[in-house]
Structure 1
Amino acid sequence: MNQSMFIVWRESVEALLVIGILQVWISRQTAHSRLGRFLWAGVVLGLFCSAGLAGLMLWAGEAMTGPQGEWLQAALTLLASGLMVQMVFWMHRHAATLKNTLVREADERLARQGGWGVLLLTLLAVSREGSETVVFLYGAGARLQGPALNLFAIGGVLGLVLAGLTVLLLRSTRRFISWSLFFALSEALLLLLGGALLVAAVDRISGQLLAMDMPEWVYSSFGESRWDSSTLLSDSHGLGAMLADFVGYRAAPSLVTVLVLLGYWLWVGNGLRRSRHAA
């Protein structure tokens, strides 16, 4: 529930930000009422594209059962983790010029294609945010069933509500939170969640490898825990479960899990340094 709420909240705020920038730009154009219709048509089509991707992924997950399904879900979870990190890197490089870049592209598309250019720009922006949301949610909730899946869905709905309230708060006052602070906090949470999804993918891959006829070192690296801290902090409930969802905490991690998580944060640190330098 916490993962889905955060994912939908973060991605919805970014999508609403893009729509808001385009709305302000349209209000300054002579044919603003006609362009507004193209804008909202692009929003609707972008949502339909995202829904189509969600349906395709769910169909593929249902069609591929057993080991094939596990490998597919592991691959999509890895993809979600990588997309989260790349999105943070991209925002570090382009956040300061996002508004100007979007307005410039809208001007160019309007001059070349008229209202259809505005529709296409909106369609691409909304479908990109929606597609990222679909991939992130699939990666985070692939293992859930029954009541846990219902809570996951409720978290997504709460994320939409929270996104609307956040945008209203950011537009009305900056006393409590600013856009820069919002993006800084959400990017930090995205990086933590990216690590958690990476660990979840490693868990799936480990389960498949341990079911195969593999050399002994594979069983040792992927199956044997290096320590067990469950007596201090279990990863199945309470604070430990929340850390497992958002950080990738494991009370009894394997050697591969430890190395992968360490490598992830080294990669993230190097990527952030390069992104700041590029910005």
Structure 2
Amino acid sequence: MFNALIVVWRESLEAMLVIGVLLAWISRQDQPAPLRRGLWLGAAGGLLLAAALGAATFAVQSELEGQALEIFQVVMVFTAAALIVQMVLWMRRHGRGMKRELERQAGQASGALGVGLVTAFAVAREGAETVVFLYGLGLESGGSALAANAGAATAGFVLAAATAWLISRGARFLSYRVLFGISEVLLLLIAASLLAGGLDRMIGMDWIPPLVDPVWDSSGLLDDGSGLGRVLADFLGYRARPSATVLIGYLVFWGATIWAMRRGATPRAAAA
């Protein structure tokens, strides 16, 4: 549930900040009214596109069964994890120039229609990522947690709106960079948890070997089926009785992600 809140908060905040940047740019133009209408129509169109993707995802799932459904679900879990990492890396590399890039795109756009298309693309991208993330999280938490995840997603959207409002008001103790830095860590933890869950699914279906199972057994100290252990399992990918395959996947994930983050930070440091 907490994972869904964090994901929706981050994705919604990005979309709201994009809209905020474009609204600020529009306010400096000679005829802002039609551009503003185009922006809101584009935002609505982006939301509809994201909703259509969500409907299509569940429609595809309803048509599948047996091994085909299992393959589809595993692919969606790994896709969600990969998209989270990609989003974090992209924002680290391009976040500082995002405002200038949005204003450049809006300036090159042709009137209200062009601004609407820029907005629709940005909102649809964030919405589509959210759909994939929530689907992957839903598979890991099980169908019984659907209502809880829906409530957490709603809370994440409300929290994003409050955060965007505070940032726009220049809150003294609310830094855009600090917020996104913290959310990067949380999102990567969620991605690692999704990866571990996906590997567990593949082992359970005999698609890959567990190698050594278990490597250790800490269930006597902290069981991953209830209480704090369950929270850590959902959020961090903690396993009381992990297989060697899951541990190797976890280590490879963090090694590759940290390497990519450092590699992406090198050009920024040089430029600075």
TM-score range, shorter chain: over 0.9
Alignment partner, residue 186 of structure 1: 183
Counterpart among 144, 149, 153 of residue 146 in structure 2: 149
Whether the aligned pair in 2 keeps the contact of 1:71 and 1:204 (CA below 8 Å) is: no
TM-score by length of 1: 0.92
The amino acid that maps onto 1:185 is: I
**Matched residues in 2 for 1:75 and 1:188: separation?**
23
Q: Distance in 2 between matches of 1:146 and 1:206?
A: 21
1:130 aligns with 2:127: yes
- Contact in 1 for aligned 2:192/2:253 (Cα 8 Å): yes
Q: Is the 8 A contact 1:199 1:261 kept in 2?
A: yes
The verdict on how the C-alpha distance between 1:25 and 1:177 changes in structure 2, with shifts beyond 3 A counting, is same
Structure-2 residue corresponding to 1:221: 211
Offset of residue 87 of structure 1:
0.9
* Aligned-partner Cα distance in 2 for 1:116–1:129: 20
Q: Confirm whether residue 54 of structure 1 aligns to residue 54 of structure 2.
A: yes
- Counterpart AA for 1:83: L
2:222 counterpart of 1:233 = yes
Residue in structure 2 matched with residue 86 of structure 1 by the alignment:
86
Is the CA contact 1:197–1:248 (under 8 Å) kept in the aligned structure 2? yes
1:252 Cα deviation after fit: 0.6
| TM-score, normalised relative to structure 2 | 0.94
| Cα distance in 2 for residues equivalent to 1:203 and 1:241 | 15
Residue 176 of structure 1 and its aligned partner are, at CA, apart by 2.3
The DSSP-based 3-state class of the residue aligned with 1:221 is coil
Q: Is the 8 A contact 1:71 1:205 kept in 2?
A: no
| One-letter amino acid of the structure 1 residue matched with residue 9 of structure 2 | W
Cα-to-partner distance string for 1:11-34 (whole Å, 9 max, x where unaligned): 000100000000111111111011
Q: In the TM superposition, what are the counterparts of 1:84-123 in structure 2 within 5 Å?
A: 84-109=84-109, 113-123=110-120
Please give the alpha-carbon distance, in whole angstroms, between the structure 2 residues aligned to 1:162 and 1:274: 32
SS of 1:232's partner is coil
Amino acid at match of 1:32: P
Q: What is the CA distance between 1:67 and its match in structure 2?
A: 2.1
CA distance in 2, matches of 1:248, 1:273: 23
Q: CA deviation at 1:108?
A: 1.1
User: Which digits, 9 at most, give the CA deviation of each residue in 1:211-253, with x for residues without a partner?
Assistant: xxxxxxx55527x211111111111222222211221111111
* Cα 1:133/1:146, change in 2 over 3 Å: closer
Residue of structure 2 equivalent to 1:72: 72
**Ranges in structure 1 where 5+ consecutive residues have no aligned partner:** 211-217
Percent identity of equivalent pairs? 42
AA matched with 1:221: L
1:250 is the counterpart of 2:250: no
Q: Which amino acid aligns with 2:237?
A: G
Structure 1 residue 159: deviation in Å? 0.8
| Corresponding position: 1:204 with 2:204 | no
Distance (Å, rounded) in 1 between the aligned partners of 2:175 and 2:203: 42
For the Cα contact (< 8 Å) 2:138–2:145, is it kept in 1?
A: no
CA distance in 1 between counterparts of 2:112 and 2:235 reads 42
> What is the CA–CA distance in structure 2 between the aligned matches of 1:139 and 1:122, rounded to whole Å?
26
Alpha-carbon distance, 1:170 to partner: 1.9
Q: How far is the alpha carbon of 1:96 from its aligned partner?
A: 1.1
Quote the residue 1:214 is aligned against: none
CA separation in 2, counterparts of 1:80 and 1:250? 20
Q: Structure 1: how far apart are the matches of 2:217 and 2:111? A: 62
Aligned residue type for 1:142? L
For the residues of structure 2 that align with 1:20 and 1:122, how far apart are their CA atoms? 11
